Amino acid sequence: MEPSLKRIVMGVTGGVAAYKAAELARLLVKRGVEVRVVMTAAASHFVGAATFQAITGQPVYADLWDARVSNGMAHIDLSRDADLILVAPASADFLAKLVQGRADDLLSTLCLARDCPLLVAPAMNRQMWENPATRRNIEQLTEDGVALLGPTSGEQACGETGYGRMLEPETIIEAVDAFLQPKILRGLNVLITAGPTYEAIDAVRGITNRSSGKMGYAVARAALEAGAEVTLISGPTALTPPGEAQLVNVTSAQQMLEAVEARTEETDIFIAVAAVADYYVLNPSENKIKKDAHILTLELAPNPDILSNVARQDTAPFCVGFAAESENLEEYAELKRKRKHLPLIVANDANAAIGSDDTELILLDDDGRHVLEKTDKLTQARRLIEHIAKLYNARYQ
């Protein structure tokens, strides 16, 4: 959880998903956030106040005229020092109330009287979600600056399957974290390559490498969180790409080069995370090669260097490279940075980095080295994006 998030008001409205709100509260508390739960009357039909009180260690509120708030100003006091209000689940009825600016219970009054961000995680039956009235409400709420988390599609309590299911608590926490990231790349187009490339030998075989794509996908996510328009050009991976990125799937280095070159002109920042195969197989066989007793020789030719090709253009975007090295890490990475004319290169240990979830990164730029201590790849990607934004702004603004 972002360290900046200290205190939240968590609204719970009437819906079956209210039982998941208990888990959400538990996860937030576990991450060190002070959670004050405010329930609507309908929510108490699904889950009891005692549950939230026990989980959060805080009194639970439901009444606009709660005597525990000394001056009768619960609607102001409760959200006064909150960093945000998160309503999960948010029912169709509650969303409609928000649109109208109604204030006939404590939670809606708090939302109306707030001066902090409001995030809602809708949960409702598929037909209610698809109803034109809800569609209109969602559009209006977005226009009003309310952040929508989900819903997602899946099996529903009513037995139907479709959109309207509340996001899982872990996903809501990730979405809150993403929301809190500073929008330091707003208005910029970021192009990212990720994953390995695959160079065909024949119809079913090829040369590839062990890159999982995790770092590149994390960088794409962090750039999106920072407000950028992101295009992710990905070699074959087993990962789910972030939904808001424009995804271009490629297989070979040649295809990756073409996909990158087609977009370089409109790109402000190019981050080459992909582990591009250095060679491709000359004359791959269209059919599966049959084995025989002879030695098989493959002829390999060097692939184009995508990053160098982009970086040497006169109107090149701000280019960032990655260097996975198994020895002399910083020395080799710095040589690569100079050779490819990059303002920034990210060095990591090839043996430790591939496929793992945690990684140490060393950023090398004109000012020297910056060590990003070992942690998960999304956190590293966020730190990297912060560094890139700083260098980019120093250069262009």
Any idea what DSSP says for residue 266?
T
Measured from the CB atom, the residue of 268 and 278 that comes closer to ligand CTP is: 278
How many whole angstroms separate alpha carbon 223 and alpha carbon 232? 11
Q: What is the nearest approach in angstroms of ligand CTP to the Cβ of residue 247?
A: 17
* CA angle (50, 13, 16) in 5-degree steps: 85
Measured from the CB atom, the residue of 111 and 347 that comes closer to ligand CTP is: 347
Q: What is the nearest approach in angstroms of ligand CTP to the Cβ of residue 338?
A: 11
Half-sphere exposure of residue 246: CA atoms within 13 angstroms, side-chain side: 10
Q: What is the nearest approach in angstroms of ligand CTP to the Cβ of residue 322?
A: 4
Amino acid 107 reads L
Q: Which of 111, 116, 158, 319 is catalytic?
A: 158
How many whole angstroms separate alpha carbon 185 and alpha carbon 168? 28
With CA atoms as reference, report the closest residue to 24 among 63, 64, 51: 51
Q: What is the nearest approach in angstroms of ligand CTP to the Cβ of residue 284?
A: 18
Any idea what DSSP says for residue 275?
B
Positions in the binding site for ligand CTP (CB under 6 A): 193, 253, 272, 274, 276, 278, 303, 305-307, 321-324, 336
Q: Which helix (H) or strand (E) holds 217?
A: helix 214-225
Q: Is 158 a catalytic residue?
A: yes
Measured from the CB atom, the residue of 186 and 338 that comes closer to ligand CTP is: 338
Measured from the CB atom, the residue of 38 and 347 that comes closer to ligand CTP is: 347
Q: Are 10 and 25 in contact (CB under 8 A)?
A: yes
Measured from the CB atom, the residue of 8 and 215 that comes closer to ligand CTP is: 215
DSSP 277-303: -SEEESS--SSPPPP-SSPP---EEEP
Half-sphere exposure of residue 370: CA atoms within 13 angstroms, side-chain side: 15
Q: What is the nearest approach in angstroms of ligand CTP to the Cβ of residue 375?
A: 21
* CA angle (290, 293, 294) in 5-degree steps: 90
Report, as residue numbers or ranges, the catalytic residues. 158
